[in-house]
Amino acid sequence: MRLHQARHRKLDWRKGKRVGANQRVVTWLKPKQQSAKSELTKEQWSELPDEMSIRLIKVKYTDRYGNKRTLVVVTDLLDDKQHSGRELGDLYTRRWKIEEKLRDVKTTMGMELFAVKSPEMAHKTMLMMMIAYNLLRVLMQSAASDVEVSNERVSFKGALDLITSCSEHFKMMLKSIQKRTAYRASIVEILATKILDLRPGRNEPRAIKRRPKSYQMLTKPRHVFEQIVHKSNYRKMA
């Protein structure tokens, strides 16, 4: 995990034992009193060890604005020979990309807003989205294996567009297993051509091309909503 900002402000890199380049092993002591914000029970707090050896690793990276920065990764894997600092730093970078990938998947699959009226239907919609996503990833993995590249190199948007355009053809092959199998193989073959180029450190800011219209917010059902007429602009209803 990343070192907490409160500990980062008080970090003294001279303390502890040096175990590698930009790496040190330090000892964290258990506080004498449990914090009021702690969610642990008294029994769980008492079972925690009085001290813990932690390995700190400095990792250099480039932020979304192109500036070079340094973060400190914390791990309890103390052996530098078995788990090198560079590998752990790359592992944390891949872990952080999960947040970005989830954001992209929500936008690409139209999951930012569910047009449902109950929590039960929202859960069902989310479940169907997860099933569709996993099935799509299976095809992408098959395509990546054919060309011997990482699954991340296959374009998710390209795969989604291809599968969406082929859905009607699959309906015409419901009675023929051989045709469905051959058609699936052709889809995987096409997916193998949708490989993304490696673009390390690429900055892709999220922005809109056009300004949104200044309509008022729909704060009531449409059958009771009243539009406020104005010369050129709209204002929000109270």
Read off the pTM: 0.61
The domain ranges of the chain are 5-96
The C-alpha atoms of residue 175 and residue 173 are separated, in whole angstroms, by 6
DSSP 8-state symbol, 2: B
CA 222 to each of CA 122, 226, 227: distance values in angstroms, whole numbers, following the listed order: 22, 8, 10
The pLDDT tens digits for 205-221 are: 677 778 877 778 888 88
SS3 (DSSP) at 56: strand
Q: What is the DSSP string of 82-129?
A: TS-HHHHHHHHHHHHHHHHHHHHHHHHTT-S----SSHHHHHHHHHHH
Backbone φ and ψ for 117, nearest 5 degrees, come out as -120, 0
Q: Check residues 231 and 88 and name the one with the higher pLDDT.
A: 88
154-207, pLDDT tens digit by residue? 888 888 998 888 888 878 887 888 888 888 888 888 888 888 887 766 666 677
Share of the chain above pLDDT 90, in %: 8
Amino acid at 41: T
Residue 225: per-residue pLDDT:
86
Task: Quote the mean pLDDT of the chain.
Answer: 83
